[in-house]
Amino acid sequence: MSLSNVVSFPNVAPATNRKLILFQPPGFDKHIYNELVAHHWEVYLANNLQQASDLFDNHRFKVGLCLIDKQCSSSHKLCVVGKLCLLDHCSEPQDLTQLNRLFKSHSQCNWIMGLPNECTPQNDVNSTESKLIAEYCYNYITLPVDIERLLFALGHAHGMNEISQPSQPSIDNYPSRFGIIGNSPSMLNLFKQIQKVAKEDCSVLIEGETGTGKELVASAIHHHSRRSHNPYVAINCGAYPKELIQSVLFGYEKGAFTGAEQRKIGLIESAQGGTLFLDEVGDLPLPQQVNLLRFLEERMIERIGGSTKITIDVRIIAATHVDLQKAVEIGKFREDLYYRLRVLQIKTPPLRTRGNDIELLAEYFFSQFSANQRYKARGFHADSLYLLKNHKWPGNVRELMNCIRHAVVLSDNRQLTPADLDLDRRCKERLLQTLDEARDLADRELIVTSLRYNNYNVSRAAKSIGISRISLYRLIKKHNIEGCV
């Protein structure tokens, strides 16, 4: 029988969420199967552990039932009931090891094991079956099966699985606007800016550190603008080689270059009527800055290899983590393009300035990542919350998200500790770095004071602070204070 076939019976209305997956060999006693069907379980069939694993890939089973016959270690009949699973487990020495792997791989399922009375934990606490029950099983029953007891056990395990699975966290349950969590003063100010900027139809430059959500701000601006029903196209300008970026942005005609076998529409053209988001625009090579500037001035493009000018109506939103004003000063970014992009300007606040938003975000990510974890922590230890709030977060929200994900997946504790978050090590590293910086600052101040006191005579200054003249010269160079000499 096909694994995907549902065994249905006339005049039997299956109850909601009462699917049962039965893995059994031909000739397996139909008594349990028939009883489960009669009690409104929808039944699926399979014959071995591989089929069980395949079905787990395509279904979410809430309950598993493993039945082992009287030989205990030579002929194991496994049933998985799910949703409910029932599976045959044949007579090979490694069978229980395979069961161990199956149970471990699908621990989100509440497993119940059915054992012959002589193989129960009370009779042999050191048996492999007993260890499997202790480590992976929700409950066990004895054989031959008491159907009423089996149905009660399965129903209870199924119900407990349902109520123990947390619902996926909704961002609406947290203080947020535009799909962005936060209620700190800096974020409330950002939300006001988004609301105002979205109403306009001119270019926007979003500046902020890496991981502060610039792409979320760009998306919010588009989806609350008059262009919201038209395309929103995003490109990371630093993700393409400089030789390809022009063709990606402007497109090309068939035969424009080797490999151009057909016309390709560029991202600017594909955003017609909508918004083009240029992420990390500061990484755009200078030659492509010229082409982008020409487009912004003319609002027309030519595909590579083409001669026809195409009029384009798009709104440009650009974002960067670099200081474009400084990039202009050192010649890495065109000044005229900078002012074309920065008609309106928004700055995303770094996480370290957002106060209680850190805890809000940590709780949201915790709920999100722990939803599908069977064995999981219940929250944060008080020390962890303190360290979360006082960590500098150089990677901002992205760093916080990855930190929480790491802790949820790897922690074995009931509450996430600083060790789970890896924040104790990070804080120590940051403390050592701060001490080094403080020492360098103190050294510099001592050298400058000594030089001034000795009228910038290096020999006398070195003698006054107890080091050699050569050492003083080395420190002067290290701390970049040659101009004082």
Inter-residue contact 73 to 81 (CB < 8 Å): no
% of residues, the chain, pLDDT over 70: 75
Max mean pLDDT range (44-48, 141-145, 287-291): 287-291
Q: What is the pLDDT of residue 5?
A: 38
Distance between CA atoms of residues 449 and 333, nearest Å: 40
* pLDDT > 60? residue 430: no
Q: Domains of the chain, with CATH numbers?
A: 19-164 (3.40.50.2300), 185-347 (3.40.50.300), 354-421 (1.10.8.60), 430-484 (1.10.10)
Reported as a single tens digit per residue, the pLDDT across 365-399 is 998 888 766 666 778 888 888 889 888 899 999 99
- Provide the pLDDT for residue 130: 66
pLDDT mean over 185-201: 94
The total of other beta-carbon atoms located within 10 Å of residue 414's CB is 11
With cut-offs at 50, 70 and 90, classify the pLDDT of residue 82: very low
Residues 335-367: tens digit of each pLDDT = 999 999 999 999 999 999 998 899 999 999 998
70-79: which pairs have CB atoms within 8 A and are 24 or more residues apart? 70/116, 70/118, 70/143, 72/115, 72/116, 72/118, 72/119, 72/127, 72/129, 73/128, 77/24, 77/28, 78/23, 78/49, 78/52, 79/22, 79/23, 79/24, 79/32, 79/114
Structure tokens at 191: 């939300």
Name which residue leads in pLDDT, 373 or 211. Answer: 211
Between 88 and 8, name the one with better pLDDT: 88
Q: Facing residues of 85 across strands?
A: 21, 80
Distances from the Cα of 212 to the Cα of 354, 400, 420, angstroms:
11, 11, 24
Confidence band of 21 (pLDDT split at 50, 70, 90): low
> If you write DSSP's letter for every residue of 235-285 in order, what string do you get?
EETTSS-TTTHHHHHHEE-TTSSTT--S-EE-HHHHTTTSEEEEETGGGS-
Residue 39 has pLDDT above 90, yes or no: no
| Position 309 pLDDT exceeds 50 | yes
Percent of the chain with pLDDT over 90: 32
Q: Encode pLDDT of 432-474 as tens digits.
A: 455 666 677 677 777 877 787 777 788 888 888 888 888 888 8
Question: What pLDDT, on a 0 to 100 scale, did the predictor assign at position 203?
Answer: 95
Question: What is the rounded average pLDDT of the residues 262-274?
Answer: 92
Task: Compute and round to an integer the Cα radius of gyration of the chain.
Answer: 33
Q: What number of other Cβ atoms are within 10 A of residue 33's Cβ?
A: 19
In angstroms, the CA 241 to CA 262 distance is: 21
In this structure, the chain runs to a length of 485
Tokens at 146, concatenated? 């008491």
Q: Which of 72, 132, 128 is nearest to 107 (CA)?
A: 132
- pLDDT value of residue 8: 36
